[in-house]
Structure 1
Amino acid sequence: MSNGEYRQVWRIVFRNFINSLRPKQVTGNNVGKDYIGNTYFEIPASPSEGKRKPSRWYDPPKGQDFQNPIPAEWESWLRMRRKEPPSEEEIAKNVAIAQIKKENAAKIEMKRLAEGGSLPAVPERGPQSYPTYDEYSTGDSEGVHSNKK
């Protein structure tokens, strides 16, 4: 190997090393947008390059974070439970169903309050190491079994 070829190999290795440290600009296909404002992207699978599954992600709108819930149909697409992204008709149908459920819940609550009902009682629970049940108690005041023989 001549001296010129040897230098060329190290130049290529060095250039590849420097390029590996730079952040990669990932661009995917814009697949859709939901009513919250999240934008969804996908890089399709490419078996010829050794990539068996597509890469999917979303970007929240400006000022939002990734902790906000995303719609169920988009989450199932992101988690590879469905192959195709949800259609506009499917999203509109699911939003309409959710709105109807909210209205029905409000009507039921108003009816319950009009009949004189109060807010449901929440049982008070203190710190307990395990649950106690009356039908299984031995008569001890604290529900602790004694070690009498």
Structure 2
Amino acid sequence: MSNGEYRHVWRIVVRNFINSFRPRQISGNNMGKDYLGNVYFEIPADPQRGKRKPTRWYDPPKGQDFQDPIPAEWESWLRQRRTEPPTEEEIAKNVAIADLKKINAAKIEEKRLTDGGSLPTPVERGAQSFPTYSEYHTGDPSVNPKNKGN
């Protein structure tokens, strides 16, 4: 073998190592945006190349860094529980239902307090022991409780 015939393995390893630090330029289809400002993307499945499932992700708004929970509709789309992304009407309807539940809960709480109810008190639990039964022996295992008189 001459010098030019073999592959320069170390050169390939070093080049791949350096390239691993470069940010990847992934471009996906913009699928939508939620009311929190998260933008959702998808790279569709391509069975010809062996990719059976689409790749989905989201980018939070600047400064959020994935701190806020995402809406349930978008989470189910991200986890591929649904094939189509949620529509604006569906999201608006679910937000309206959530707001209505908050209003109804506040009304129920107000009614409970006006009827003489008090704030719920937390139940304090201390150290609890296991129950003891007379038919089970809990002492020295070498002593049989049935043969105490013998």
Task: Give identity over the alignment, percent.
Answer: 66
Deviates more, 1:113-122 or 1:77-86: 113-122
Q: Which ranges of 4 or more aligned residues in structure 1 deviate by more than 2 Å?
A: 1-4, 13-23, 126-130, 145-148
What TM-score do the two structures reach when normalised by structure 2?
A: 0.75
Quote how far apart the aligned CAs of 1:129 are.
Answer: 6.8
Measured against aligned partners, the alpha-carbon deviations of 1:22-78 in whole angstroms (never above 9, x if no partner) come to 331111111111111111111111111111111101111111121321110100000
What SS does the corresponding residue of 1:57 show, helix, strand or coil? Answer: strand
Distance 2:79 2:52 in 1: 15
Larger radius of gyration: 2
Instruction: Output the aligned Cα RMSD.
Output: 3.0
Aligned equivalent of 1:52: 52
Equivalent positions of 1:8-23 (< 5 A) are: 14=12, 17=16, 20-21=19-20, 22-23=22-23
Aligned equivalent of 2:63: 63
Structure 1 alignment gaps of length 5 or more: 140-144
Structure 2 alignment gaps of length 5 or more: 146-150
Distance 1:28 1:62 in 2: 19
Pair 51,127 (structure 1): closer, same or farther in 2 beyond 3 Å: farther
What TM-score do the two structures reach when normalised by structure 1?
A: 0.76
Pair 122,26 (structure 1): closer, same or farther in 2 beyond 3 Å: same
